[in-house]
Amino acid sequence: MRPATLALAASALLLAAGCAPYPTPGGPPPETPAPHASGGSSGEVAADSVPPLDKPKSKWAVGGKSLSDVATGELAVAFMQAGLTSEVRGGADYANGYDAIRFELDNGTVKGRFILVRPARRPTHKATLATPAETRAKLDPTTSAGVLDESADVYFEISLTEGGKAVDAKRMLDSVIKSGT
């Protein structure tokens, strides 16, 4: 499949899943998803009342772009090009200064999910979302592989639910995400 066709397919799938497609430089900001608050109020506050987390960029990258900056659509395309999934089903949460990007993986042999938790560029509201370190603490070492970039406060993981073990998850992760150092 040609890269342009793949990018268009990924964008369409992301839109269908309720995710924002690639950001357009100079274009309107992506729509803000509803917060996942665990209380009586919606949990939404003005964007400027939640300051962005001041962290260095992650040394880990997809297609040469830091995990601190890579767009959801670019991640989806990378996983599709690596043959780890044929379609993108997932979404993103934004809360307490973090983005959490999740999507399902299914290559016909193994099934699982990918998650990336990182400081948000434009925090939108206060709600409960696990930090990268808290997410890392939940890793199942028998079926998952993940990396915590402590200096950038970025965590990424593949957890397999069918047909694989931690070594398979690590191989899948290494096929898409590379260390810049």
User: Is the residue at 30 inside a domain?
Assistant: no
How far apart are alpha carbons 47 and 51 in whole angstroms?
8
User: Is the residue at 106 inside a domain?
Assistant: yes
User: Is the residue at 38 inside a domain?
Assistant: no
At 52 the pLDDT is 56
How far apart are alpha carbons 68 and 124 in whole angstroms?
17
pLDDT in tens, 134-160: 777 777 889 999 888 989 989 899 999
Q: Are 146 and 164 in contact (CB under 8 A)?
A: no
Q: Are 52 and 119 in contact (CB under 8 A)?
A: yes
User: Is the residue at 109 inside a domain?
Assistant: yes
When the pLDDT of each residue in the chain is averaged and rounded to a whole number, the result is 73
Q: Give which of 139, 45, 32, 25 is closest to 96, Cα–Cα.
A: 45
At 126 the pLDDT is 57
User: Is the residue at 148 inside a domain?
Assistant: yes
- Domain around 160: 3-20+59-179
Q: Is the pTM of this model over 0.75?
A: no
Instruction: Tell me how many domains the chain contains.
Output: 1
User: Is the residue at 26 inside a domain?
Assistant: no
pLDDT in tens, 74-102: 988 999 999 988 887 887 777 777 888 88
User: Is the residue at 111 inside a domain?
Assistant: yes
User: Is the residue at 63 inside a domain?
Assistant: yes
